[in-house]
Structure 1
Amino acid sequence: MSIPLSLAALPKPPKTSGAWLLPVLALLATGLLPLLLSEYAQDLAVKIIIYAIFALSLELLVGTTGLISLGHAAFFGVAAYATALMLPDNGPGAILLMLPAAMLAAGCYALFVGALSLRTKGVYFIMVTLAFAQMAFFIFHDTGIAGGSDGIYLTSRPALAVSGFMLVDLELPRHFFFFALGSLAASYLLLAMILRSRFGRALAGIRINEQRMRAAGYRTYGYKLAAFVIAGMLAGLAGFLMAARTGVVNPEMLSWHESGAVLLMIILGGLGSLRGAVLGAIAFILLKEFYSSEAVFAGFAQHWQLSLGVTMILFVAFLPNGLIGLGRRSTGKSRKRSKKTTISAGGHHA
């Protein structure tokens, strides 16, 4: 006889005073970057923003639902290819048409992959998602679809015009920056709302004890599939932006290296935290740029993977909770100190 699990029994996100203050301040500060950065640094900031969206999408699976996927780059790449294939040759395509279509393409593939892979668990789930991603990789790499191994180039960039007035032109760096930043803010807000909803609390319950959730009457397969599709569509948003940024799409965007990189980002930032996913993307991209800089490391810069790998090992060893754990640790210490001070002061007064 199963015992009903009420909403009150489901895991709740921690309530912290001023939890929204830091993300809002960070968003406002980031909005000022185009006024301060060079063209190269601004492009690097856009790259970080795109990968932050990509990391947030995987965080919904790994950190929230407990589903470790090694094939998440498939949705990233499928959306990028959809963007390139839909773009007209005679001018910019409409963002309002291309963006939803790219995300829908990623979502449809995520629905297909999730419907099959979620019937497995543990390491089998990891391997099945990897297999589906490699399947998509070889379809684009070994066939004549979209240029084969050479990929496909975008002749123009998506844009948004109303009554002949250009509102957003992704050909312009500043327009692209703010459009990408707005996409990141919307993705973060959406996931924050999901985590605080009944659906998000159910996903957290599945991560903690799926068997108990099933015994309580929750159809966990449907919840996991919905999370898988949402994560795939958000990865598709990142893929759309990356295709528009680089102007070229190739099969490497679907490779397991890309899936592994975004998984490292959320581990580096700290699992179970949206802010950790964003921090991990920032740290990973900046470390990669630093170690691959010939101005700093000269000829050894070509071995940047080695330096980055050693750094990741050190981070995991000394910061098991990720970068977000540093803030939590300092906050915990300050609370302990204030508590000790209060107790001491109370004893002295007595």
Structure 2
Amino acid sequence: MSARTSDLGIAGAVPDVAAPRGGRLAGRGTALAALLIFLVLAVLPPVAVAVDDPFLVVTATRIIVFAIAALSLDLVLGYGAMVSFGHAAFLGLGAYAVAILSSHGISDILVQGVVAVAASALFALVTGAISLRTKGVYFIMITLAFGQMAYFFMVSLSAYGGDDGLTLAGRSTLFGLPILRSDHALFYLSLGVLAAAFVGLRALTLSRFGRVLRGTKENPVRMQAIGFQPFAFQLTAYVIAGALAGLAGVLLANQAEFVSPAYMSWQRSGELIVMVVLGGMGTLVGAIGGAIALLLLEDWLAHFSEHWKLGLGVFLVLLVLFTRGGIVGGVERLFGRTRP
């Protein structure tokens, strides 16, 4: 292969394979939809004060945290076609980094954040390097195995609560100041992280790196033939996603003021996958919308029956069968657009 061919880049070499997905929400509409969501979320604390419902802010913060985790999963699932059933392990590692450091007197959120992101990224690097040697159902099973290994490892740590989990002495501080003591402060910090994550991942997926990643999803053989190594790009995306999920874990630990091995279970990983599929894979904004929809739907159905998961399952089956592309796909068709 000539250097000339390698220098063409994705845009010039494989425009038909790696071109961005069409549809209103795949372009400018994605940013506009996300902006609308962020604006609605931003006014929730004043609304909560006006209606005297502080639990509204707590619920919204929890939704935002899981939206960040779902956003990170969409990078590998929606853009890289990597179905990871162990993604919650990164979320749990981030949460446990906060709890363990806090139990040893280190409460500064900057230190906790760096340790959490580094630990999650390292775990993603090691497990991803092994998992990506496989494909299809084998990849799913090996990520599930790694996730469960992390889960049972935390269960075995009796010094940090074991299966019962660990309650934090208090929320993280910043240079000794308890800035996150207020639910509103934690809410806006979480919202800021979500917005930054969306902007960063959107720029990444629209860049040359993102076009290569989409190309490896559609036609990895052709991408390799023109000089790109799918493994390197997929592993990089996997590490980025793991690090971002770890950061979400930092916020989750502060929101709940409690950590548990359940954060790392395969059920939690399954919920994250459902969020991405429900919202619309490979759109980013769909992951945010899916997290909002799933968690609100769970809370709503729980008011009607203790068997609410049965109703949720029926709803999700119907959605997958009759709504191509999840919520984003439905909105696109509503506006008379379809994705290729």
Q: Same fold (TM over 0.5)?
A: yes
How far 1:19 moved relative to its partner?
Answer: 4.7
> In structure 2, what is the equivalent of residue 61 of structure 1?
76
> In structure 1, what is the equivalent of residue 301 of structure 2?
291
> In structure 2, what is the equivalent of residue 44 of structure 1?
59
Decide which moves more: 313-322 or 176-185. 313-322
> In structure 1, what is the equivalent of residue 331 of structure 2?
327
2:19 pairs with 1:12: yes
Give the number of aligned pairs: 323
Larger Rg: 1
Work out which of the residue numbers 34, 48, 55 in structure 1 matches 2:45.
34
Aligned residue identity for 1:102: A
2:251 pairs with 1:241: yes
> In structure 2, what is the equivalent of residue 347 of structure 1?
none
Aligned residue identity for 1:87: S
CA distance in 1, matches of 2:140, 2:159: 27
Aligned CA distance change for structure 1 residues 141 and 312 (closer, same or farther; 3 Å): same
Aligned residue identity for 1:308: L
2:212 pairs with 1:202: yes
CA distance in 1, matches of 2:159, 2:73: 27
CA distance in 2, matches of 1:82, 1:196: 32
How far 1:143 moved relative to its partner?
Answer: 3.9
> In structure 2, what is the equivalent of residue 230 of structure 1?
240
Q: Secondary structure at the match of 2:95?
A: helix
> In structure 2, what is the equivalent of residue 82 of structure 1?
97
Work out which of the residue numbers 137, 145, 155 in structure 2 matches 1:123.
137
For residues 1-350 of structure 1, the aligned pairs below 5 Å read: 4=6, 6-8=9-11, 9-10=14-15, 11-13=18-20, 14=22, 16-17=27-28, 19-37=30-48, 38-87=53-102, 93-161=107-175, 166=177, 169-293=179-303, 297=304, 301-332=305-336
CA distance in 2, matches of 1:22, 1:73: 26
Identify unmatched segments of 5+ residues in structure 1. 335-350
How far 1:18 moved relative to its partner?
Answer: 5.6
Aligned CA distance change for structure 1 residues 97 and 142 (closer, same or farther; 3 Å): closer
Q: CA RMSD in A?
A: 1.9
The answer on whether the counterparts of 2:30 and 2:283 sit within 8 Å (CA) in structure 1 is: no
Aligned residue identity for 1:329: R
Aligned residue identity for 2:166: I
Decide which moves more: 23-32 or 209-218. 23-32
Q: Secondary structure at the match of 1:323?
A: helix
Q: Secondary structure at the match of 2:98?
A: helix
How far 1:319 moved relative to its partner?
Answer: 0.7
CA distance in 1, matches of 2:165, 2:103: 17
Structure of greater relative contact order (alpha carbons < 8 Å, 6+ residues apart): 2
Aligned CA distance change for structure 1 residues 86 and 328 (closer, same or farther; 3 Å): same
CA distance in 2, matches of 1:46, 1:17: 27
Aligned residue identity for 2:224: R
Displaced runs of 4 or more, over 6 A: none
CA distance in 1, matches of 2:34, 2:131: 34
Q: Secondary structure at the match of 2:174?
A: strand
CA distance in 1, matches of 2:63, 2:199: 18
